[in-house]
Amino acid sequence: MIWRINHPWENGGVTLSLHELIDAFIVYLRDQRGYSSHTIRNYQTDLVRFAGFLLNDKGFGGAEGLALREINPLVIREYLGSLYGKMTRSSIARKFSAIRSFFLFLEKRGLYEGNPAADIATPKLEKYLPSHLTVDDVFRLIYKPGKTSPLDLRDLAILEVLYSCGIRASEVETLNLNSIDFNERLVRVIGKGDKERIVPIGRKAIKAVNLYLEGTREIRKKRGALNNGALFINMRGGRLSVRSIGRIIKRYATASGLSPEISPHSMRHSFATHLLDGGADLRSVQELLGHKNLSTTQKYTHVSLDRLMEVYDKTHPRS
């Protein structure tokens, strides 16, 4: 079905496709705001889902098209309410952020008067402690892949890089062959908002990446992967996606007897936690993780504090 949106205040029926408006917003995020491809995909998915709610649940968008004035704060609240129980609060908050940003975009370009999401409070997020693995569990996970087939070598290299550098799955996806300085043991990472940072990489990870590149040399030549420069590739020679990276981690976590909820972000959490446990200062960990605000990094200190409290309770005479 083709969605049409009636301009809310001009007489005469200036009509615009809702999907065209969404596409224009996505182009704006990519070209003017510099959002990462991962964030852009999420925003686009969120807005298409909201459009589906308007069409299927609310019955908006008949033959005469969807009038923007029909989308009011009550409609948005109803949509957000329909998501509770189906997904986490953080996911709902992200979907709401996409809607609010979309209407702000329309408002600034004269396509909408006011923002129906402007006065709606962001859903309160649950307070949670980041999941992480113990050092022993990380080693169990990393030792699980074989060391013979190209896929085994690739998966081992991904695990080593995730734990050695503490980078996001989306950042692993965008790594190219020239992203790693093998002599200096440094990795150039493109993070959120296309911001670049340099992070160190351990010798074990360097060795794993070298073995992987050697083991996939013929695949790269045959599939033309050298042309696109991607570091981690699938068997077709294309760049490995974030979703595929997540599946790889879950598969080895399950095979290692660990929780199937283990994800690439769990490796990132483990990286930060183990650094802090080892005595790293918070500012350094902030730089390594690429956090804009120190408060984002501080959530990782809970593990160290728990450990310190345990030691304190066991050893202090007046604990």
- Which of the residues 4, 154, 268, 269 is marked catalytic? 268
163 is known as an active-site residue: no
28 is known as an active-site residue: no
- Which of the residues 4, 144, 269, 291 is marked catalytic? 291
**C-alpha 53 chain-centroid distance:** 24
Element (H, E) at 186: strand 186-190
**Token representation of residue 179:** 């992203």
140 is known as an active-site residue: no
CA nearest neighbour of 163 among 210, 209, 213: 209
Cα separations in angstroms, 159 against 54, 256, 257: 42, 13, 16
- Which of the residues 100, 192, 197, 299 is marked catalytic? 192
Element (H, E) at 190: strand 186-190
269 is known as an active-site residue: no
CA–CA–CA angle 30, 34, 40 (5° rounding): 45
- Which of the residues 168, 220, 250, 269 is marked catalytic? 168
318 is known as an active-site residue: no
- Which of the residues 94, 251, 265, 302 is marked catalytic? 265
Q: Is the dihedral of CA 282, 286, 287, 288 positive or negative?
A: positive
Question: Residue 230: beta bridge partners?
Answer: 176
Give the CB-side neighbour count of residue 35, counting CA atoms within 13 A. 17
- Unique residue bearing structure tokens 């695990």: 159
**Token representation of residue 131:** 């999941």
Distance in angstroms (rounded) separating the CA atoms of residues 91 and 142 = 29
77 is known as an active-site residue: no
Distance in angstroms (rounded) separating the CA atoms of residues 2 and 63 = 10
Q: Where are the alpha helices (DSSP H) in the chain?
A: 18-31, 37-52, 73-83, 89-108, 135-142, 150-165, 169-173, 203-215, 217-223, 225-228, 242-255, 264-277, 282-289, 294-298, 301-315
Question: Catalytic amino acids?
Answer: 168, 192, 265, 268, 291, 300
